[in-house]
Each structure stands twice: as C-alpha cells, then as structure tokens.
Amino acid sequence: MVAYFQLQPAESDLQELAEEYWEKTGEKERLLEKAAFEAGEAIRNGEYTLANLEAIVRWKSERVVHYLIANSTEKVRRALAVAANPANTTEAAVRALIELNGVDIQVASAILAAIFPEKYTVMDFRALEALGHSRHDVHFYEEYLAFCKRLAESNIVKPQEELPGATPLRTLDRALGEWSRRYAG
C-alpha cells in the first residue's frame, strides 16, 4: 500500500509559513533546535554519544529524554553509528534508532534530520496534518520522506541560511508545522 499525501497549504505559502514558524518560536525552542543540529553535526563527525543524542531528543520530545539513560553507552554508539552511516538505507537507520529506549519513529526522524538535514526531515503530527495524513511506520516514513524531498527539490522553498539545519527540507518542515499550528489546531 502506498501512502497518499495531499499538501493542505498552498505551495506559494510555504516559505512564508516557515518564516512565521521561526518568528513565533520562543527563545528556548530556538536554542534547543540550534543545539540539536550542532549535536547532529557532531554525530555525523563520529561523536556517537548519549549527550549528542539527548540534545536532539530534547529538541523534539523533552518528555522522553529520561528514557534515554536506560540505554548503554555501547547501544547508543551502535545505533548512532548505523544512523550516521550515509551508505545505510532509511529503513536500517530508523530501525537501529527505534531499538533505543525513548525513541519511536517520530523521534528517529528528528535524529536523522539533525544528522543529515539535507537528506531527512522530521515526521511529526503537525507536518502530517499539513499533508492530510497520520499513519506512522518505517515504510510510511520512507514514503513521507520521498514526498517531502520532491517538494523541497521543486524549489518552492529556500534554505533559511541563518537558521539551524539550513536546507530546503528543514524549511519545508517549519512551513508544514506552522500551517498545522495556524489551521489544524
């Protein structure tokens, strides 16, 4: 079964929505996002630590951070090594991450987006609402990611160069999140 995505906001509104998202985001959230993408870069550079993982998880789901400490240093290192290997498939990366305590598919998508913002995007309920959908499994994430990449590659949004994760995918994620906040509740 192939997932169907219907973009709810007008394509022409996406860049403005992404800008509005950042303007409305509080200072704490901005700092958390900045720390997450710095941690993602550190992971990309081989620093497979709980501290880096925690910075990313805190950005997307602070309420599950306490579950992370149940993971051994070795388990975290192995999962991040798989996730940070650009040769691995999306499925392999997601499956390695969801083996960790405190990581579900949505959190795994945020971890991958922080490590490789040009390759992955966050799959959360707000973005899914903006695409008229809400089903969550690894194959769904792969389809969601492919859809978002097609949108981002169509040049309807531009990287927000001064913001963390300065890629079209991250701009699109901000736009979809802002549309959901504005129109879907």
User: 80 lies in a domain?
Assistant: yes
User: 113 lies in a domain?
Assistant: yes
Residue 115: which domain range? 11-184
User: 44 lies in a domain?
Assistant: yes
User: 132 lies in a domain?
Assistant: yes
Look at residue 185 in the predicted model and tell me its pLDDT.
60
Task: Say how many domains are in the chain.
Answer: 1
For every one of its 185 residues, what pLDDT tens digit does the chain have, with 9 covering 90 and above? 677 889 999 999 999 999 999 999 999 999 999 999 999 999 999 999 999 999 999 999 999 999 999 999 999 999 999 999 999 999 999 999 999 999 999 999 999 999 999 999 999 888 988 998 866 788 889 999 999 999 999 999 999 999 999 999 999 999 999 998 888 76
pTM score, whole prediction: 0.84
User: 171 lies in a domain?
Assistant: yes
Look at residue 100 in the predicted model and tell me its pLDDT.
97
Closest CA to 34 of 164, 177, 135: 164
Look at residue 67 in the predicted model and tell me its pLDDT.
95
Look at residue 139 in the predicted model and tell me its pLDDT.
86
Distance of alpha carbon 18 from alpha carbon 145, whole angstroms: 18
User: 1 lies in a domain?
Assistant: no
User: 137 lies in a domain?
Assistant: yes
Look at residue 166 in the predicted model and tell me its pLDDT.
94
User: 5 lies in a domain?
Assistant: no
